[in-house]
Structure 1
């Protein structure tokens, strides 16, 4: 029997200078694609982060009023490890983000502020590869980001943004979705993997709470857990990217 041919992933487009990553929570990018971001900032590209929430509902042992500021600090430190200094929070409520015009408007405004050519977000589908159910926050923010990439360029959608000095930006050329079960492109993870591990480790308080709740994860140190998670994910893509560990994206052209 002939072995099925493995569909190879294409290299990510590289003729761009500015990108904006839009996700729901602190740590979403660190679990999803920070090895790629580290490589891009090394190449002199400008990348900003926009988070819909401060992750304030993410830890059962810590009240939201205390959790939100802590996770914001961890996110800013995490972004700095991979060369990102611009980190914004939209202050939607963690756990109950609603897809709709308000979320689209906030993301469209961020796109107009940053004027990126590439927009990055996280898996917007109902499941992670049909195996695990996705969270409503990820679905809402991912879907709204795909839509807002178009909204940002239309002056008659959310015309109030023009009155705030945010002129339309129709320069988004691609939206890249990390964590997709149907990726099309990839970035070699090797140059940025060590910094991706360190970046994830900046979320130490959150990871410690997460691993304490899961006995299978709790058998590892925080360092072992972070390295194992990111290395396994990168290696899982290697057979579709010339044998190289990689970060995969589903890329939608515009």
Structure 2
């Protein structure tokens, strides 16, 4: 997968760090497709195992007031179809209520549980900081995902005495190498992935979420334009498209152990 890092040096060097497994956390069905489906498609094409964890059922989404009881099932089905288009079949749900998500210990414990089960090289999550340039990226549930995952990754994930019931169940403490965050403030971006070859696949995945997009053409134009602008911010050649991340080295060569 082709990657590009800005002058604000990314701690992730694809030439020296091999990714074999990735676990992605988002708030709602469709969040991951808008934020990272191009990168995910490139990963799975290269043989990387990618799993999703969607924290809510998306029950507050959609536009039809007469079909509220059907929304969760519909969005679940949309997410599975969209995921399959970018090579992902392993999807987990925390079944939190849409619009009410909080970084509670209940949620953090479940995040720790899943990371310890899958032991990924990269956890990819929504960003815990608000994006004031495009506040639509910063739905309160999005921020809650970022906060819950960040708290889970350090220190609970690697502390054998945090949530001791997990260790008792055989889920041993785990030191995560990298945390990749998306949808945060532009000034936090330090890693850009050139997904020019995955634009159509990303849009195909987004199109599956038909229940959320009354104006497909406008959505298409907006996503394409944003990806071109992201590539410009990352210094990629004109006409390229990119997805941007804030990459954090959680446990690297210089990490000092301790809680």
| CA distance, structure 1, for counterparts of residue 10 and residue 174 of structure 2 | 27
Q: 1:8 Cα shift?
A: 6.3
- Aligned partners of 1:11 and 1:187 also within 8 Å: no
The counterpart of 2:42, out of the listed 39, 43, 64, is: 39
Q: Matched residue of 1:187: which SS? A: strand
Q: Does 1:165 align with 2:170?
A: yes
**CA-to-aligned-CA distance 1:33-85 (integer Å, 9 cap, x gap):** 10111011111111100010110111242454311011000001110000001
5+ residue gaps, structure 1: 1-5, 212-221
The counterpart of 1:249, out of the listed 234, 239, 245, is: 245
- Aligned partners of 2:37 and 2:202 also within 8 Å: yes
Alpha-carbon RMSD across the aligned residues, in angstroms, is: 1.9
State how many pairs are aligned: 234
In structure 1, the partner of 2:80 is 76
- Aligned partners of 1:38 and 1:192 also within 8 Å: yes
Q: 1:122 Cα shift?
A: 1.3
- Aligned partners of 1:10 and 1:241 also within 8 Å: no
Q: 1:245 Cα shift?
A: 1.7
Alignment of 1:221-236 (within 5 A): 222=216, 224-236=217-229
Q: 1:192 Cα shift?
A: 1.4
In structure 2, the partner of 1:192 is 198
**CA-to-aligned-CA distance 1:201-229 (integer Å, 9 cap, x gap):** 11012212xx4xxxxxxxxxx2x234323
| CA distance, structure 2, for counterparts of residue 207 and residue 60 of structure 1 | 9
Per the alignment, do residues 57 and 39 of structure 1 end up closer, same or farther by CA in structure 2, a change over 3 Å counting? same
In structure 1, the partner of 2:150 is 146
Q: Matched residue of 1:98: which SS? A: coil
TM-score in terms of structure 2 length: 0.84
5+ residue gaps, structure 2: 1-5, 251-259
Per the alignment, do residues 204 and 87 of structure 1 end up closer, same or farther by CA in structure 2, a change over 3 Å counting? same
Per the alignment, do residues 152 and 179 of structure 1 end up closer, same or farther by CA in structure 2, a change over 3 Å counting? same
Q: Matched residue of 2:61: which SS? A: coil
In structure 1, the partner of 2:211 is 205
- Aligned partners of 1:174 and 1:251 also within 8 Å: yes
- Aligned partners of 1:197 and 1:226 also within 8 Å: no
In structure 1, the partner of 2:55 is 52
Q: Matched residue of 2:160: which SS? A: coil
Q: 1:163 Cα shift?
A: 2.7
Alignment of 1:173-192 (within 5 A): 173-180=177-184, 181=186, 182-192=188-198
TM-score in terms of structure 1 length: 0.85
The counterpart of 1:137, out of the listed 141, 145, 168, is: 141
The counterpart of 1:20, out of the listed 6, 19, 23, is: 23
- Aligned partners of 1:200 and 1:226 also within 8 Å: no
